[in-house]
Amino acid sequence: MSIKTKLSELPVGVTVEINGFDHAYKGKEKKNLGFGKVECFVFYSEQLKAERTFEFYKTKNHELTKLKDKYKF
C-alpha cells in the first residue's frame, strides 16, 4: 500500500527518487533564479553530485508516493 504525502509536508533529510536517482531533501531555501529570489524546495543527489530545485508556489501541493523507506516524485 502506498501513502501520498504533499511536498510541502515532507520532513527534511528523507530520500526522494526523482527520475530514477535518489535525492536527499534539504528543505526550503531562497534561490536566485535569474529574475529575483524565489523560495524553492531543494534536493541533492550524491550519485549525480547535483542539486535540484522546485519552485515552492508551483509544486507545494504536488503529491509524493511513499514506498517503504523512500518517496517517489
What is the tens place of the pLDDT at every residue in 10-69?
999 999 999 999 999 999 999 998 888 999 999 999 999 999 999 999 999 999 999 888
Answer yes or no: pTM beyond 0.85: yes
How would you class 26 by CB atoms within 10 Å of its CB: exposed for 0-12, middle for 13-18, buried for 19 or more?
middle
pLDDT at 33: 82
Taking residues 6-13, report their average pLDDT: 93
Domains annotated on the chain, with CATH: 3-72 (2.30.30)
pLDDT at 1: 59
Report the chain's C-alpha Rg in angstroms: 12
pLDDT at 42: 97
Count other Cβ atoms within 10 Å, centred on residue 41. 22
State phi, psi for 56 to the nearest 5 degrees.
Answer: -60, -50
Q: How far apart are CA 45 and CA 51, in angstroms?
A: 6
